[in-house]
């Protein structure tokens, strides 16, 4: 079974609008971490935001926030006030902290295009 599922291969958003990128995960580990990365066309992977399974609050980093719904096993990334520079691939990833501590599982990614 897929550990991380990103169901949106591609998305468009108008500049200055907010956009939500979906991510669902599958784990029986009670302790885990969720990560989002951005990959521009230049290829480097940039870490954006982290959410721990026991964190009470949704994580925020500047224009990025994570809509964490533990019961639904979803960890959607919300980008507010989109900018042209946000056009990139976005990957959701998970690290299981008890069972497979040293492995990170990645989704297949969502390509975001921001329109002027």
Partner 1 sequence: DVKVTQSSRYLVKRTGEKVFLECVQDMDHENMFWYRQDPGLGLRLIYFSYDVKMKEKGDIPEGYSVSREKKERFSLILESASTNQTSMYLCASSDRGGNQPQHFGDGTRLSIL
Does 41 sit near partner 1 (CB under 8 A)?
A: no
User: DSSP letters along 47-94, please?
Assistant: EEEEEETT-SSPPEETTEEEEEETTTTEEEEEE-S--GGG-EEEEEEE
The residue (of 56 and 116) whose beta carbon lies closer to partner 1 is: 56
Question: How far is C-alpha 20 from the geometric centre of its chain's CA atoms?
Answer: 9
Find the binder of partner 1 among 12, 15, 26, 47 (CB under 8 A): 47
Residue linked to tokens 């925020």: 60
Does 99 sit near partner 1 (CB under 8 A)?
A: no
With contacts defined by CB under 8 A, name the span among 17-25, 65-73, 77-85, 99-107 that binds partner 1: 99-107
The residue (of 37 and 76) whose beta carbon lies closer to partner 1 is: 37
The residue (of 10 and 18) whose beta carbon lies closer to partner 1 is: 10
DSSP at 15: T
3-state secondary structure of 44: coil
Maximum distance among all alpha carbons in the chain? 45
Q: Which residues bind partner 1 (CB under 8 A)?
A: 9, 31, 33, 35, 37, 42-45, 47, 50, 52, 91, 93, 95, 97, 101-104, 106-109
């Amino acid at each position: 079974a897929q550990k991380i599922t990103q169901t949106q291969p591609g998305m468009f958003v108008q500049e200055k609008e907010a956009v939500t990128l979906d991510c669902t995960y599958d784990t029986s580990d009670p302790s885990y971490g969720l990560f989002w990365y951005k990959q521009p066309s230049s290829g480097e992977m940039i870490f954006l935001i982290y959410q721990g399974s026991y964190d009470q609050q949704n994580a925020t980093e500047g224009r990025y926030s994570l809509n964490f719904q533990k019961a639904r096993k979803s960890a959607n990334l919300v980008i507010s006030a989109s900018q042209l520079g946000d056009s990139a691939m976005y990957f959701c990833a998970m690290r299981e902290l008890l069972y497979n501590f040293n492995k990170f599982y990645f989704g297949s990614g969502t390509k975001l295009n921001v329109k002027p």
